[in-house]
Structure 1
Amino acid sequence: MATLRRDGRQLRGGRRRPLRRLRGRLLARAGRHRAARRRARPRLPQHRRGRAAHPRGPRDPLERVLEFRPDLVNVAAGGNDLFSPSPDLDAAEENLEAVYAALTGQGAHVFAFTVCDVFEAFPEFAELRLLVSRLNDRIRAVAARHGATLVEMWDHPVRTSPTLMSADGMHFSMEGHAVLAGEIIRALAESRQPVTAGRPA
């Protein structure tokens, strides 16, 4: 049976206050996503570990991912680093490298996406544009080294949509997520990477 893994790791912790404020809203959205997946594929094993990279317990989240032995993994990470007082993109790339190496070394196929250039439509975030561009360069480099499927969202036409972002200013709206999901499916199909069924434990 195919397995799916989504890994939204925060590599350094990032800005905590807005994340706490949005906790209830994001949990509700996650519940809707789970319900939709179960309707489509009731028997699909799926884990999601959207945790900070620094351990909050005796085990690192990546260790749990590797134990699950996924076939297909989404690594969406590094964005919260940009909200720290002194963003360290070298450290972010090192962490991404370690995650990709561990996953691909186990035989999983990784897919990722670059951060969208929303700064024309949302000029209030313009101060982050250069950092986001540099982070995308790191994401591209790590993805290329590990043969990952990369969805290029930086210059996607949807970037100028005034309804692209949700009210929190940090995440895509439903429109943005719908476009991203479509591009992910297209990229995975074009990459011709088979999802292995019945991988032995």
Structure 2
Amino acid sequence: MGATGRGAAGRRFAPGDVVVRREVLRGEIWFAVPTICVEDSPGLLALYLPPGAEFGFPERGSFPCGRHPWQTAGRRRWHGHGKLMLHRPGEAHSIDVFWTGPEREFAGWYFNLQDPVRRTPIGVDTLDHELDLWWAADADRYVFKDVEMFAQRLVEGRYPGRAEAIRAEGDRIAALLDAGRRWWDPAWARWCPDPDWPVPRLPEGWDSVPC
């Protein structure tokens, strides 16, 4: 299972392909992680981030907002059960599915605000917006997360001129949830990864592919 050219413009990834998810901050690659394609259809890109997937932090760059927080914290790999990330074309968020415990029980839906994904020859580029919503499996309602952290990131200049648009996306998601709208398939909560999938690795040159 290796990175292919299926993700270039006009082409798609196949199930099992390695898809490099990169974060691009103010024109520079800031972070990368290899994921596995679960589905790539006209209406949905589903990516799986398995436990043990290595993080990539570029060596060169100006990094006007500093290094990625996971790099400064010494985090090098993804831990836990892994997570599934559901993307619809053009939307400024993903719906991430989490599991917990020894029986891999469904933990909840995580609405991750981010740039709409942009395809590259090796995967997709985006940028996490810090502000999120979390709806635990045993909760009656969602909660906003990392509101104070989002405000701090604005002070740091991470999202110049975009604060209102990011907040508006969070409010839009909240309004849909309050109205009882569900724009994803709840069956993803029961999804399991292929046990034969190996832990993906970042391909050589992942940090030199143009954004």
Scaled by the length of structure 2, what TM-score is found?
0.29
Scaled by the length of structure 1, what TM-score is found?
0.30
Choose between structure 1 and 2: higher helix proportion.
Answer: 1
**Structure with the larger RCO, 1 or 2 (CA within 8 Å, 6+ apart):** 1
